[in-house]
Amino acid sequence: MISRCTLHLQYTRMLRISSLALLCLSLSWCLATAYADESTSMIAGSTKDGFEPLSQGDHFTNWKHNGNWKINSGVISRQVKGGALVYVGKKIPDDFELRFEWKVGTGSNSGIYYRPTQYEYQILDNAVHADGKNPRTSAASLYFCVQPSKDMTKPAGEWNTGRIVCKGTIIQHWLNGEKVIHLDYKNPKWASNVDMLRQRGGNLEARGAHLSLQDHGDPVWYQNIRLKKLKETDMVDMNDVTPAVIPDSVLEAEKKKLAEIIKRRENKIQSQKQ
């Protein structure tokens, strides 16, 4: 027969084993819960500030193109000729902030269109491309409308950070942490700039476009594209920015280029009527 002492020892051993098993199970549950909380926090962290990520992973979710763009680990790259990459998941809100990162190959040209007609945040290798000679067509310009205050670009092949902020009649372009354009297109002092864009077919009061990344035939990369709809109560930086001075020789060349653009557009309209 088994003595009481032996039974007690066996019972005590079983209790220890059971307690250890429960402790391990509890620890596993705590770790799993902590991991889940951390994962949830990481996921929420990408949108807790109100920004919606538009580019991530290896699939073009909600993007439309003709097979000439690729995405790998969130990095978008233009591969061959084929046209713009367009976000069709939703249209750009009337008031918004768009954040993104971009880089170009040597001499490359691209652009981000964020409202109908000629709203373009110019993407460019200022050092090599011909458009870099004119601040009004350089990187971060509101193309052929307003030039940035200074050239804040990094060398070709390096990532730049960009921001576009639009609220009411205010348009802002940011580059590498600095606001380089602050335009209130209803302010009379910007009348000549607004008219220049109008001559190109632009309408600064237009709204409701899909975000579009331009295929200009050159190597370009984008990543971390994020969009936030601004509320009426959201404040924006209202500090003024002085555009860079454009030399007279460049202004003369600009007039000729604008005339060529207008002529091409008129010829296109005429051919469509025939």
Domain count, the chain: 1
- The residue-averaged pLDDT of 58-64 equals 97
The position carrying tokens 């402790």 is: 23
Identify the band that residue 16 occupies on the pLDDT scale cut at 50, 70 and 90: low
Q: What pLDDT is attached to residue 10?
A: 56
Is residue 105 one of the residues assigned to a domain? yes
* Rounded-to-integer distance, Cα 66 and Cα 80, Å: 10
- The residue range of the domain holding 198 is 52-273
For residue 41, tell me if it sits in a domain: no
Q: Is residue 263 part of a domain?
A: yes
| Structural domain contains residue 27 | no
Distance CA 5, CA 186 (A): 95
pLDDT, residue 40, reads: 33
Beta strands in the chain (DSSP E): 52-53, 63-64, 69-72, 75-78, 85-87, 96-104, 109-115, 119-124, 160-167, 170-175, 178-184, 212-213, 220-229
Q: Specify the pLDDT at position 255.
A: 93
Query: pLDDT at position 13, please?
Result: 59
Each residue's pLDDT tens digit, 89-146: 999 999 999 999 999 999 999 999 999 999 999 999 999 999 999 999 999 999 999 9
Instruction: Give 48's pLDDT tier (boundaries 50, 70, 90).
Output: confident
| Residue 75 domain-assigned (yes or no) | yes
Q: CATH code at 118?
A: 2.60.120.560
State how far the Cα of 102 lies from the Cα of 158, in Å rounded to an integer: 8
pLDDT, position 259 = 92
Q: Confidence band (pLDDT; 50, 70, 90) for 5? A: very low
Q: Report pLDDT for 27.
A: 40
Within-domain flag for 60: yes
pLDDT tens digits for range 168-187: 999 999 999 999 999 999 99
Q: Distance between CA atoms of 132 and 150, rounded to whole angstroms? A: 12
132-144 b/e (C-beta count within 10 Å ≥ 16 → b) = bebbbbbbbbbbb
CA 153 to chain CA mean position, Å: 16
The values of phi and psi at residue 253, to 5°, are: -65, -35
Residue 36 lies in a domain: no
- The overall average pLDDT reported for the chain is 87
Q: What backbone phi and psi angles, to 5 degrees, belong to 10?
A: -65, -40
